[in-house]
Amino acid sequence: MAANKNIHYFSRNIRPKNEQVMEKSGLRGKQALEFASLDLPILPGFIIDAEIAAHLEDFDFKKEAGIHLKKFEDVVKKRFDDPDNPLLLKIVISPNLAIVHYPTLHNFGLTDDTIPGFCGFVGETFGYHEVLFMLHGFLEIELKIAELEKKEKQRQELNRAIGELKKILEGDAGAKELKAAFAKFRGLLPREFFTSAFSQMQTALQRISLMLKLDDLDDEDAAIMVQPMVYGNYGKDSSSGSFYTRDIVSGEDLLQGWYNQNEFDTIDIEGKDINEIGSGFLKDLKKIAKTVEDHFKEIRFIRFTIENKQVWLIEQRPVMTKSTQADLKTLLDLHNRRIVDQEYLIKGIKPAQLNEILHPVVDIKSIKDFEEISGGISGAPGAAVGRVYFTTEGLLEAYKTAQLEGMDTKFILCMPATFAEDVKAIEVATGVLSSEGGYSAHASVVARQYGKVSLVKPEMRITGKKAVIDKVTVKEGDYITMNVPHYGDPQIFIGKASLIEPSPEGSGLLEYIDIVKNFTKDFHVRVNADNPHDAELAVRFGAQGIGLCRTEHMFFDEKRINVFRELIISDNTSDREGALKKLKKMQVQDFSGIFRAMDGKEVTIRLLDAPLHEFLPHNDAEMGYFLEYIKGQKKYQDLSQKEIRYRCDSLREFNPMLGHRGCRIAVSYPEIYRMQIEAIFEAAYALRDEKIKVLPEIMIPLIMNADELKLIVYGKKIEGDTYEGLTSVAEAIRKEKGGKELPYKIGTMIELPAAALSAGEIARYAEFFSFGTNDLTQTSLGLSRDDFNSFMPDYTQFDILNGNPFQQLDKNVKELIQTAVRRGLMTRPGLSKGICGEHGAVPENISFCMEAGLDYVSCSVYSVPIAMLAVAQLELERQEAAAG
C-alpha cells in the first residue's frame, strides 16, 4: 500500500527530510518535527498536513494510517482496538496562528470493547473519567461546527451538555457517577462511535476536518497531528511529573521539580523531589534536560510520563518565572560548554535585568497576608525591609541602640525630602521613602549611589512621628517592606517580609562582566564614587575608572561635618586655614583609598560643588550639635550663639543651586580648592612611592565662561593682589615631594548652556569635558529635578514632554552636548569627553553618547554592570552593521 504523501510520520531521530513539510504542519506540528530531530524520548506520531487536513470527507483512517498505527503499537507495546491492552490516541489540531485555540482531544480508541481492558490497568474511576474527557473534547468540536453552521438549537443543547460534563470532570465523582454520565451523554453521538476504535477515529478526524473547512482554515492554515497516549498510572512501574531543566531561582545545574508514582497527571500537584526518582530514570531525565536546554539555549519546563519503565517526554515550554541569575548562569554554562559564543551570551540578557542580581528581591511566600499599597515613583530599584524613622537623628540614634543591644539594624528613612546632611542616614538605612521629587531627587540619587532602595510616594503625608499612605497609617518604629522593581509598579507591604539577598560572587555576574569587558574597548564605563569601598566594588563590577568623585560628600560624615561648618562660618582667612588643615588630613586619607582601589585607572575628582548652605544645620538638633562643637574650640569661645546663628543665616540664598556654589566658591575662597589640590597630590605622590599608578583628573564645576576657568586653573595678578592657580599649587607639591611630575589633567563639568555654547573657548584651558546632565537639563529647560514630578503627570497627559527629561536626555540637551563636543574638539582635538549625570546608566542615553563622540559614561556603582552591558550590546550592533 503506497503511503499518502500528505501524511508524515515522525519519531525519535526520525522526521521528514523535506523542509516544505514543516510549513504545512502548523505550529504544534513544527515543534514535534523539530523535536524529532533531537535525541529525545518523544512519542511517535504522524501529521496530516494542511494541504488535506480540511478535506478528509473520504478519508479512510484504517487504510491511510494503518502503517503508522503499527509503528505506534511496536513502540508503546499496545494494540489499537485491542480489548485487553488498548492503544489510545490523542488528536492535536495544529494551526499556523498561535491565537487560534482548539479543544484538547485525548483518549480516542475507548469503546465498549476496550474500556474494560483500559480500566483493568487504571481503575474504573480514572478509566471512565478519561472516557468522559474524550467525549467532552469531541462535543466541543460538534459545538464549534453547530456555531459555524448557525444551528442554534443544537448549539444550545451542546452547550448545556458540555457545561454538565465539565462540572463532573472537575469534581470528585466516583466510578458509579461517571458511568451514569457516560450512559446519559453517549447518545449525543452516533451509536457506532463507541463500537469500533477505527470508526471512532475516522469520525473524529472527519468532523475536525469539517470544522477546519467551515472555520475558513481550509487554505493550508492548519494541520492535524495524531500520537499515542501514555499514562503515569498504567501499572506499578509508571509515574508522572514535571521539572525545570535547572533551578529557576539560583540557576544551579540541578533538576527542580517533582514526580508522583502511579499518577496520570501531576501538573498541579507537588509530589516527591524529582532528584529522588530512581537513578536510571534520573539519568534519562537529566539527559532530556540537557538536550532541551542546549537546543533552546535557555531553561525549559518539562512534563514527562513513565509508563511501564519507559520515560516519555510529554511537553516542554519556556519558563516565564525564572530569575535573572538563573538566566545568567544558564548562559554561562552554555558558553563554557561551547553551545553559544560570546556574542550570543552578551545579547542574551537585557541590561535592566541585572538590577535583579544587584539588589535584593522580596520572597513572595512571606507577604501573602500583608497589607499592600501599590504605586509611586521608582527612585532606586530593589527591596528593603526595616523599621520606619522620620528624621536622620532619630534613625541614627535607633541604629546605634540596635547595634549596642544586638537588635535588628534594618531601618527605612521616611522624609518629605532629603538633603546633604541626611546622607549619613541613607548610608546606614536599607531604603528611603520620600514624598517629594522623583527619579532624580536627592534621595533617589544618593540611594542609587549607595545601593539602597528609594521610593517616592507623592500622596504620603508625614505628621510628627507618623505617616499616612493611601489611608494606611505607619508609625515610627513600624516595620514596612518596600519592593521597587525596575519594571512594574512599586509596592509597600506593611510588615517585615523575608528578602532574597543578592550575591554577585555566586550569581555569575562577575564572570559575565569579565566577558562583557571584551566588548567595551572603544567606549568606557566609569563610576560615580566618593569613597574607597564604592571604588573597590565598582572595579569588581568592571568600572574602567571614576568619572565623578563628589568631594562634598566626603564632608558629611558626622566626624567631619562640624569641621566643615567651622570653615564656612569663619570670617577671616586665618580661621579658615585652621579648619582646612584638619580637613586636608581627612581628604588625603580619602583620596589615598580611592587611588589605591583604582590603581592605573583615571579618577576624576570634582572639587567642592555644593552650595555652602547645604552644610549648615537644618534643624535645632543639628544646630545644638554644632554649637557644642564650636564652644569646644578655644578661638570661638567668645562667639555667642546669636552670632553663630547670624553667620549661618547670612549664608542662606534664595536660589542656592544657581548661587554661591561650584567654582564660584573658589573665586571667593581660593584656599578651599587649594587645600583639595594639596590633598590630592600629597596622596598621589605617597602612593607613587608604593608603585601604585595614580591618574588624577581635576574637575572644576559650574564653569560659565573661559575666564572663570582660566583664573582658577592658572591664577592671576591684579592691582597687587594675587590669585594662585591650581597648576601652581600642584607644582609646589611636586617640588616639595621631589622627583618626576605626576601626569594629571584639569577639566571642567559642562552643566550650563552658556558653557556648552562657549565650549570652544573653554577647551583652551580644559583637557576634558564632563557633562553634568542633571544640572544641564535643569538649566536648559528651567525645570527643578526635585519639584518637577509634582506637575509631570499634567505634561505627560498632554504630550508636552516626551518622557521624564531627568531619565531620558531631552533633544535640546542633546543638541547642547553635540555642540559642545564639536566646538571643544575644534580647539583641542585630543579632548576627553564623558557624562557623569544620572542619565549615564540608561541604554538609550548611552547610545546617544556613543553617536555623539563621547568617550565614556559614568554612573552609580550598582549601575555600572547595567551600563557596561548596554555598551557591549551597542558595540555588537555597530560591528554587525559594519559587516553588512
The DSSP-derived string for 406-420 is: T----EEEEES---G
For residue 639, the model assigns a pLDDT of 74
For residue 268, the model assigns a pLDDT of 57
Q: Residue 61, class by beta-carbon neighbours within 10 Å (0-12 exposed, 13-18 middle, 19+ buried)?
A: buried
* Residues annotated as part of the active site: 442, 836
Say whether domain 520-553+585-610+670-883 belongs to CATH 3.40.50.2000: no
pLDDT along the chain (884 residues), means of 10: 79 87 90 88 94 91 91 94 96 83 90 96 94 95 94 94 93 93 91 92 94 77 93 86 91 93 68 90 94 95 92 90 89 96 96 84 84 91 94 92 88 92 88 88 84 91 93 95 84 92 83 94 94 93 96 81 84 84 93 96 95 78 80 75 78 78 91 95 94 96 96 88 93 88 95 97 98 94 78 72 84 97 98 92 94 96 93 94 83
In the CATH scheme, what is the code of domain 360-501? 3.50.30.10
Q: Who contacts 696 (Cβ-Cβ below 8 Å, separation ≥6)? A: 595, 603, 605, 680, 681, 684, 742, 744, 745
Q: Report how far Cα 265 is from the mean position of its chain's Cα atoms.
A: 34
Q: Residue 304, class by beta-carbon neighbours within 10 Å (0-12 exposed, 13-18 middle, 19+ buried)?
A: buried
Exposed e or buried b for every residue in 308-334, given b needs 16+ CB within 10 A? eebbbbbebeeeeebbbbbbbbbbbbb
DSSP 684: H
3-state secondary structure of 117: helix
> DSSP of 436-499, one letter per residue?
S--TTSHHHHHHHHHT-EEEE-TT-EEETTEEEETTEEEETT-EEEEEE-SSS--EEEES---E
Q: Which residues are annotated as a binding site for substrate?
A: 550, 606, 751, 772-775
Q: Report how far Cα 689 is from the mean position of its chain's Cα atoms.
A: 43
Nearest to 376 by CA among 464, 320, 443: 443
Three cell numbers written together for 275: 532528584
Is 742:684 a contact under the CB 8 Å cutoff?
yes
Between CA 168 and CA 176, with CA 174 as vertex, the angle to 5 degrees is 100
Q: What are phi and psi of 408, to 5 degrees?
A: -65, 125
For residue 253, the model assigns a pLDDT of 95
Q: Which residues are annotated as a binding site for Mg(2+)?
A: 751, 775
DSSP 868: H
Q: Which residues are annotated as a binding site?
A: 550, 606, 751, 772-775
Exposed e or buried b for every residue in 250-276, given b needs 16+ CB within 10 A? bbeeebbbbbbbbbbebeeeebeebee
Which amino acid is present at 47?
I
Pairing of strands 79-80, 86-87: parallel
CA distance to 85, 137, 461, per residue, from 847 (Å) = 65, 53, 39
Q: Who contacts 582 (Cβ-Cβ below 8 Å, separation ≥6)? A: 563
For residue 359, the model assigns a pLDDT of 79
Nearest to 697 by CA among 833, 867, 564: 833
Is residue 314 left, alpha or beta, with left meaning phi > 0 and alpha meaning psi from -120 to 50?
alpha
Cα separation of 355 and 828, whole Å? 38
Q: Residue 693, class by beta-carbon neighbours within 10 Å (0-12 exposed, 13-18 middle, 19+ buried)?
A: middle
The domains spanning 239-322 and 360-501 adopt the same CATH topology? no
Q: Which residues pair with 242 in a beta bridge?
A: 258, 303
Q: Which residues pair with 301 in a beta bridge?
A: 244, 317
Cα separation of 94 and 88, whole Å? 19
Is 245:299 a contact under the CB 8 Å cutoff?
yes
For residue 1, the model assigns a pLDDT of 41
For the domain made up of 239-322, the CATH class stated in words is: alpha beta
Which amino acid is present at 810?
D
Which amino acid is present at 686?
A
Question: Domain locations in the chain?
Answer: 7-228, 239-322, 360-501, 520-553+585-610+670-883
- Span 7-228 CATH architecture: 2-Layer Sandwich (3.30)
For residue 265, the model assigns a pLDDT of 64
Is 606:701 a contact under the CB 8 Å cutoff?
yes
pTM above 0.75, yes or no: yes
* Secondary structure of 162-211 in HEC code, one letter for each residue: HHHHHHHHHCCCCHHHHHHHHHHHHHHCCHHHHCCHHHHHHHHHHHHHHH
